[in-house]
Structure 1
Amino acid sequence: ILVHVVYGIPFTTLFFRNYFVSLPAELVKAAKVDGAGFYQTFFRVILPISIPCIVVAVIWQFTNIWNDFLFGTTFTSGDNVPVTVALNNIVNTTTGVKRYNVDMAAVVLTALPTIAIYVLAGKYFLRGLMAGSVKG
């Protein structure tokens, strides 16, 4: 888990930095005028409008962790392998006739969680990607 957290920090930092820079400074100024402190401004003003960026970070991290093959083959062994390593083992171990239906069923089952995340959070994902990308 620590490897994935450390690996994801630069990307999520970039996502949040670009998103927060694109927010109007008037929001923070208005919160200060209303008497809100730093944490109150963050939790009551900035965080509620940052949901698209949070969704992008969650989808990005989930996809990277779910589809990870390198760390799974390097740091695990035996029965404790991630889904991608198990899929590789299913597809690349054959005796006799190759059963493509089993391989494709394994691929579909492996891809289902990622597809479900994109379908359920797709509108927030697109909003979050576009929010920090265009200036002006």
Structure 2
Amino acid sequence: MLQYKQEFGDGFELGFELGNFPHLEDKSWKDEACPSFMFKLKSGLGHAGFSTEDAKPRHNSLEEYLVLWVDYPNSEERENTTTSRYSIVTATNLGSLHEPEIYHDEHSFTLFETEESEALTQYLSDLHIEPFYPR
């Protein structure tokens, strides 16, 4: 069973076909408000791998890490009722390249948010997502 289903129930609907995005790594955890998926891009956005304070790389890598949060379809079921169902935020790798630990922090910001699954799948399809692990 997929991690997000273990943590949020077998009936939780993502609203899109996860199999169409094989590079999304499920990082869902029961103590969080909703399922989340990490992924990385080859440097293209120019911000996720750098600290805004001193403009130095946080890690010796060219990857940019992002987290997709998928909230409940009904906004009344959400922990924060003012957030969109889908949001993608910048993140930091606190682990290594071979054992990533991806988290958002005080430097993270929202790149994309929408209520519509079609807009999300279009956005994800336009990105150049890299696999976390060689397949």
Asked if TM exceeds 0.5, the reply is: no
Answer 1 or 2: which has greater strand percent.
2
Give TM-score scaled by structure 2 length: 0.27
Greater per-residue helix proportion: 1
Structure showing greater relative contact order (alpha-carbon pairs closer than 8 Å, 6 or more residues apart): 1
TM-score between both structures, scaled by the size of structure 1: 0.27
